[in-house]
């Protein structure tokens, strides 16, 4: 016999171009880039319709005129039935005969990360696309006019450039966190709290809001008895923690990894754009 498990988890009903989320006694309807929040007190009825019950209709209350109806079509009949049942059970009794659209609010939706990146880095994206197009044209030219197999040289150069770019991105992120948390962050001494399942050191501290926080990784030692490291966080991004590393680590990275990356970068550029050099030499 199956036991009672409490409240039903938030339901998501996906249809053709429309998605409805039922949570916190309201339906969040996403359609054509617009997010509408419909409280249950604005809903007169939710019903199944369409062939085999694959459509959900959300009818709002009305003050006498034609009521507004939102439709989620081409969905799973089982999902529609569950959605209709859950919303219907949450509808309050004795709703006033008013225009339900007056209670509907529109919410700004957060654009996907890739769209934000394109909007903020339009010039860089255009330049990158131009470089890729020129590079592809050079590879095709080398394949058509060069010695057999030599056109593969640019193909080997691209992974090297991507690897260097990834390391540069990581380094820039660390430098940004270091600078941001030093200028605008809060620093706490975190106590050693053991190791996690991946055998990585875990450190515990209490932030200024009284919340218990944990940082996983290494950092600059503040004291050895008890074991503590320095952990920083920016109040504007409280969930992102940063621990400064010992100064010797930055020296080693600069002296060893820096020249190594420079050499790989030079090799990658030489291989990737070898056809351009031959074209200019010829």
Q: What is the pLDDT of residues 173-219, one digit of tens each?
A: 778 888 878 888 888 899 999 998 888 899 999 988 888 899 999 88
Confidence (pTM)? 0.43
Tokens of 33: 């880039």
How far apart CA 225 and CA 184 sit, in angstroms, is 29
Tokens of 258: 């820096």
Q: What percent of the chain is modeled with pLDDT above 70?
A: 82
Mean pLDDT of 107-128: 65
Report the candidate in 100, 18, 13 with the shortest Cα–Cα distance to residue 48: 13
Residue 269 pLDDT: 79
Per-residue pLDDT band for 246 (boundaries 50, 70, 90) equals confident
Tokens of 120: 């903020």
Report the sign of the C-alpha dihedral through residues 246, 248, 254, 259, in that order: negative
Least confident of 18-27, 125-134, 196-205: 125-134
Residue pair 180/234 in contact by the 8 Å Cβ criterion: yes
Residue 3 pLDDT: 40
Q: Which burial class, exposed, middle or buried, applies to 59 when counting CB atoms under 10 A from its CB (0-12, 13-18, 19+)?
A: middle
Per-residue pLDDT band for 231 (boundaries 50, 70, 90) equals very high
Report which of residues 130 and 87 the model is more confident about. Answer: 87
Q: Which residues contact 101 (CB under 8 A, 6 or more apart)?
A: 42, 60, 68
Residue 138 pLDDT: 66
Beta strands in 122-168 (DSSP E): none
Rounded to 5°, the CA angle 44-49-53 comes to 125
Tokens of 205: 């501290």
Residue 41 pLDDT: 92
Q: What is the pLDDT of residues 247-260, one digit of tens each?
A: 777 777 778 878 88
- Identify the three-state secondary structure at position 126: helix
Mean pLDDT of 156-170: 80
Least confident of 24-33, 102-111, 137-146: 137-146
Radius of gyration of the CA atoms of the chain, in A = 29
Residue pair 191/226 in contact by the 8 Å Cβ criterion: yes
Q: What is the dihedral of CA 229, 235, 236, 239, to 10 degrees?
A: 50
How far apart CA 47 and CA 24 sit, in angstroms, is 20
Cis peptide before 239 (omega within 30 of 0): no
Per-residue pLDDT band for 93 (boundaries 50, 70, 90) equals confident
Residue 201 pLDDT: 92
Least confident of 133-137, 210-214, 217-221, 261-265: 133-137
Tokens of 50: 């369409």
């Amino acid at each position: 016999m199956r036991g009672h498990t409490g409240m039903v988890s938030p339901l998501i009903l996906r249809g053709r171009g429309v998605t409805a989320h039922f949570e916190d006694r309201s339906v969040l309807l996403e359609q054509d880039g617009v997010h509408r929040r419909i409280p249950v007190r604005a809903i007169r009825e939710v019903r199944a319709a369409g062939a085999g019950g694959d459509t959900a209709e959300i009818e709002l209350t009305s003050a006498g005129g034609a009521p507004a109806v939102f439709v989620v079509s081409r969905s799973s009949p089982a999902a529609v039935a569950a959605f209709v049942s859950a919303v219907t059970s949450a509808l309050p009794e004795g709703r006033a005969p008013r225009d339900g659209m007056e209670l509907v609010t529109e919410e700004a939706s957060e654009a996907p990360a890739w769209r934000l990146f394109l909007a903020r880095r339009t010039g860089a994206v255009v330049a990158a696309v131009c470089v890729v197009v020129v590079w592809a044209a050079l590879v095709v030219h080398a394949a058509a006019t060069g010695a057999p197999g030599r056109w593969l040289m640019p193909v080997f150069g691209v992974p090297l450039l991507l690897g260097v770019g990834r390391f540069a991105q990581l380094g820039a992120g660390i430098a940004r966190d270091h600078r941001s948390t030093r200028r605008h962050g809060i620093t706490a001494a975190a106590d050693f709290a053991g190791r996690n399942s991946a055998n990585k050191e875990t450190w515990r501290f209490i932030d200024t809001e009284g919340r218990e926080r944990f940082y996983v990784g290494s950092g600059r030692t503040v004291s050895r008895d008890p074991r503590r490291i320095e952990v920083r966080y920016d109040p504007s991004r409280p969930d992102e923690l940063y621990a400064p590393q010992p100064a010797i680590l930055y020296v080693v990275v600069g002296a060893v990894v820096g020249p190594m990356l420079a050499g790989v970068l030079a090799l990658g550029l030489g291989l990737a754009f070898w056809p351009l050099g031959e074209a200019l030499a010829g």
